[in-house]
Structure 1
Amino acid sequence: MGGTGEEKPQSLLPQAPKKTRAKSQSDEEEAAIFNTKLLFEATRLEKFCDKWWNIAETDHSEAGLKTYLEQLNKHMALVDMANENLQMSNIEETIRKSSEERYDHINDSGLNTRLRINEILSSIRPAPEEASRTNPTPLATLPPSNQPNYLKVPACDTEVFYGGYEDWPSFRDMFTAVYISHPKLSPAQKLYHLRQKTRGKAALLIKNYPLNDQSFELAWNALKHRYENRRILVDNQLKTLFNIQPVTSENGERIQYVQTTINNCLSTLQANGVSTANCDPMLVYLCSSKLPDETLALWEQSLNSRKELPLWSELDQFLTTRYEVVERLTTYRPNKPKPNQSNFTPRSSTPTNNSFHSRNKTHSLHTDPKRQASCKLCNSNHSLINCVKFKELSVQDRNKFVRENSEQMAKAKGTASPIQQTLENRIPSGTPQAIQMATPRSQH
């Protein structure tokens, strides 16, 4: 019995560390599973929030907002549960800190999304006590003349700013009107909306500012300092103004584009403090150089004086009328070719049947049916020089064929045939081919 009692502790001693390692490994696997679950739920919540923010607020309805709010609450509850399980598990300190930072970031995104949905819902559907305070008497009891006509105005929002200098003034004014002037938004919430409304270079400029109340003014001033550059804005407008492409045809859309581009540049220059009061001669000359010939001629004819300097307002009014006329003519004759197009076909070395000049040339060469050339080799209606089969023969075979077929004509006229004369003109004198062609005539 004593020997048996001594053997049991010896068999159990090495097994204790194995159970400890197994338990530690199980805790690590459990923590890894909870961490993966938190990553998965956080990614789903982030995609859900991004999807909602990409929808224009004018497209939202009360029922749709309620559905989004319900789904948002479910996603946030799943993230909270995954984070709680992870924090209660046996995880390393570095993983714990990184998971807490990830949770705080995605939780802020969910809270801001929920806040914005509730704000839109409150604007669509006023509170009952507020409605009763503003309308104590039902509208049905009021006289028909005193019943106001309510018109639902869509929510106003600004577009995403990507860092273009020409887009900064409109973005600055719209963001100020919609978000900065909002009485219920905290500076941290304004900074969150500013991040959502910037992309590219503009987003990188404010990316490192933390999401708190103190950072909004710093981020907003950084954007203003970077993009409020009057010189670049003016230079871009002048570049656009002097690089307008000329209009080569009577096209109403192209004429209107020239007019609109000039007016837009003038408005932007004036908004940046650049005076355009004395720029009429320059604008008239610049615009006239871009117009097609017919429109330019009509503009010159419309002037009362050929010596006085016309104003840009006069040319602007003329272009409006001209655009309407060209557009109207296009509706009457939609299939009419453009005035700058011509049916003239350049003279080409390759004969074509559709060319007007080729037909005239053919008629002038073949007005006399007796002089129509007929190929002796293939019996086709073309000269022997242009015969493909004749060109494929060797030089000796060509000379032989010419001598045999022109012998009768040479005997009748006492001279060489026209075909042989043509060949002689094309073959340089003194060559063996020229000597061979001259031999039959001398013998004859």
Structure 2
Amino acid sequence: MYINNSRLSLVEKLYHLTAKTSGDPKSIVEKSPLTKSGFESAWAALRNRYENNRLLVTNQINILLFLPGIESETSRALKELQSTMQAVLTALALAHSKVCTDNWDSLLVTICASKLPKSTRAFWEASVTDKKEVPPWTEIDSFLTKRYLTLEAMESDPSISKGDLNPPPFKGNQNPQPTRSQCNPFRSQGNPVPKTSHSFHNDINPSKNTCDLCSKDNHPIRLCPHFLHMTVESRSSCIKQKKLCLNCFAKGHQLRECQSTHNCITCGGQHHTLLHRINSVSRESNSTSVLNSTAWPQT
């Protein structure tokens, strides 16, 4: 960013280079005099010391090979896995000898799938259309995005417990009819069957939530397809028009009266995650983070 700035002189570039380095890189830069030729000599010395493509490529590949597995079904963990793999691919393609990863689909998908938690892994396998062919990396990348967005919506709902975020793997359309011994475990142990028994269907009584937006489907507004396809501004206007709480999407109270312990997962503010706006400050911070991540590696 400083090198390509035509408004800066070579002396000014050397000043910024000195200010932006620390440790061993800084000691290398400080050996160059604060003159026009000093910047070029300092920059050449840094490149000669740290541009070890073999080491940099090896480090990126090791990140892939030694990725930790995810144990909990959380949106944050899935986003970290996805962003880590994308960062490695970007680094290999752009920074380190332009390593071609076009034919790495089988490797990337296998590594990524092996790190998924149990339920998410089951949903991924169920989503694969051709079970006999290796899906492309873009397919599992898109799946991860949809999955963590779903978990974000569920995590922000105070009516959903953490245990509900780990449903049993999908096994197709089944309508199990348990036997009398399964409904009454006392029978298999030789004990008398209690007089009060509960049928299998009575134990499962899902509550029906009418959507405040489309009204005809039994789902909360946070899962409404029409609502999810809106822009953030349109969602906010819709929630205000429906007189719902901006934090939990519930009726009967406003934001200042909300007692929910769940806030925006992205920024921690008192609003629903689906209403989070990415302002210019956030984008600038993200750009700064990217620049910092490509700084000289520590030795």
Query: Where does 1:48-127 land on structure 2 (aligned, <5 Å)?
Result: none
**Percent same amino acid among aligned pairs?**
38
CA distance in 2, matches of 1:334, 1:252: 17
Aligned residues of 2:2 and 2:16 also touching (Cα < 8 A):
no
After superposition, residues 226-237 of structure 1 pair within 5 angstroms as: 226-237=49-60
1:295 aligns to what? Answer: 120
Amino acid at match of 2:35: N
Matched, 1:332 2:157: yes
Alignment of 1:192-341 (within 5 A): 192-271=15-94, 272=96, 273-333=98-158, 336-338=161-163
Gap change, CA 1:214 and 1:260, over 3 Å in 2: closer
Counterpart of 1:248, as a letter, is E
Name the residue aligned to 2:233: none
- Asked whether the 8 Å contact 1:195–1:206 carries over to 2, the reply is yes
2-structure distance, mates of 1:248, 1:312: 22
- Contact 2:11–2:39 under 8 Å retained in 1: yes
Determine the C-alpha separation between the residues in 1 that align with 2:135 and 2:128.
8
- Of Structure 1 and Structure 2, which has the larger fraction of its residues in helix? 1
**CA 1:338 to 1:233, structure 2 compared with 1: closer, same or farther past 3 Å?**
farther
For 1:267 and 1:190, locate their aligned partners in 2 and report how far apart those are by CA, in whole Å.
27
Asked whether the equivalents of residues 269 and 275 of structure 1 are also in contact (C-alpha less than 8 Å), the reply is yes
- C-alpha distance in structure 1 between counterparts of 2:164 and 2:70, whole Å: 12
Q: Is the 8 A contact 2:113 2:121 kept in 1?
A: yes
User: 1:289 Cα shift?
Assistant: 0.6
Q: Show CA shifts across 1:223-271 (max 9, x none).
A: 1111222112211211222222111121111011111111111111111
Give the SS at the match of 2:162.
coil
SS for the counterpart of 1:278 is: coil
Q: C-alpha offsets along residues 141-186 of structure 1, whole Å, 9 cap, x if unaligned? A: xxxxxxxxxxxxxxxxxxxxxxxxxxxxxxxxx23123xx33x52x
1-side partners of 2:145 and 2:11: how far apart?
49
Q: State the SS of the aligned residue for 2:2.
A: helix
User: Matched residues in 2 for 1:257 and 1:334: separation?
Assistant: 26
Structure 2 counterpart of 1:177: 4
- Structure 1 residue 335: Cα displacement: 6.4
- 1:301 maps to amino acid: A
Alignment coverage as a number of residue pairs: 164
Task: For residues 5-27 of structure 1, give each alpha carbon's deviation from its aligned partner in whole angstroms, at most 9, with x where no partner exists.
Answer: xxxxxxxxxxxxxxxxxxxxxxx
Match of 2:156, SS state, is helix
**Separation (CA, whole Å) in 2 of partners of 1:281 and 1:232:** 24
Q: Distance in 1 between matches of 2:157 and 2:67?
A: 29
Structure 2: gaps spanning 5 or more residues = 167-299
The SS at the match of 1:176 is coil
Summarize the Cα distance change of 1:309–1:335 in structure 2 as closer, same or farther, 3 Å threshold: closer
Paired residues of 1:299 and 1:318 also in contact (CA < 8 A): yes
- Compared with structure 1, are the counterparts of its residues 189 and 316 closer, same or farther at alpha carbon in structure 2 (3 Å cutoff)? closer
The residue identity in structure 2 corresponding to 1:269 is: L
- Report the Cα offset of residue 190 of structure 1: 2.8
| Counterpart-to-counterpart distance in 1, 2:65 and 2:164 | 26
TM-score (ref. length: structure 2): 0.51
Between the aligned partners of 2:19 and 2:161, the Cα distance in structure 1 is 51
In structure 2, the partner of 1:88 is: none
Quick check: 205-214 or 316-325, which moved more? 205-214
> Helix, strand or coil for the counterpart of 1:332?
coil
Q: How does 1:339-418 map to 2 (within 5 A)?
A: none
Runs of 4+ off more than 6 Å: none
Instruction: Give the distance between the partners of 2:76 and 2:26, measured in 1 at CA.
Output: 37
Structure 1 position 287, deviation (Å): 0.5
| Whole-angstrom distance in 1 between the partners of 2:12 and 2:129 | 61
Which of the pair has more CA radius of gyration? 1
Q: Structure 1 residues 193 and 309, CA, compared in 2 at 3 Å: closer, same or farther?
A: closer
Name which structure has the greater RCO, CA cutoff 8 Å, separation 6+. 2
Distance 1:189 1:252, change over 3 A: closer
